[in-house]
Amino acid sequence: MKLRPVYITSLLLLAAFCSEAQDTLTVKHGKAALLLSADYGKGLESLVNKQTKWEFGLGVLLAGRYNFIAEYGYGRLNPESVINNGSYTAEGNYFRFGFAHVFRVSPKRYLSLGVLYATTRFTDYGTVQISSDLWPDIDTSFTRSDLSAHWFEVIMTTEAPLFKLNEGPLRNFYWGTRLRVRIMAADLSQPGFDVYAVPGYGKTYSSVVPAVNFFVKYRLEF
Q: What's the average pLDDT block by block, 10 residues per block, for the chain (222 residues)?
A: 47 48 43 94 82 94 94 93 86 97 90 97 91 75 93 97 87 95 93 91 93 95 84
At residue 30, the pLDDT reads 58
End-to-end CA distance of the chain: 43
State which CATH number among 1.20.1440.230, 2.40.160.20, 3.40.80.10, 3.40.50.450 fits the domain covering 5-221: 2.40.160.20
Are the C-beta atoms of residues 117 and 180 closer than 8 Å to each other? no
Cα-to-chain-centroid distance, residue 198: 12
Could you tell me which of 139, 162, 164 has the C-alpha nearest to residue 219? 162
163, amino acid identity: F
At residue 6, the pLDDT reads 47
CA angle 182, 183, 185 (to 5 degrees): 135
Half-sphere exposure of residue 80, counting CA atoms within 13 Å on the CB side? 3
Are the C-beta atoms of residues 72 and 84 closer than 8 Å to each other? no
Residues 6+ apart with CB under 8 A from 45: 51, 53
Integer Cα distance of 180 and 203 in angstroms: 14
At residue 3, the pLDDT reads 44
Integer Cα distance of 34 and 37 in angstroms: 10
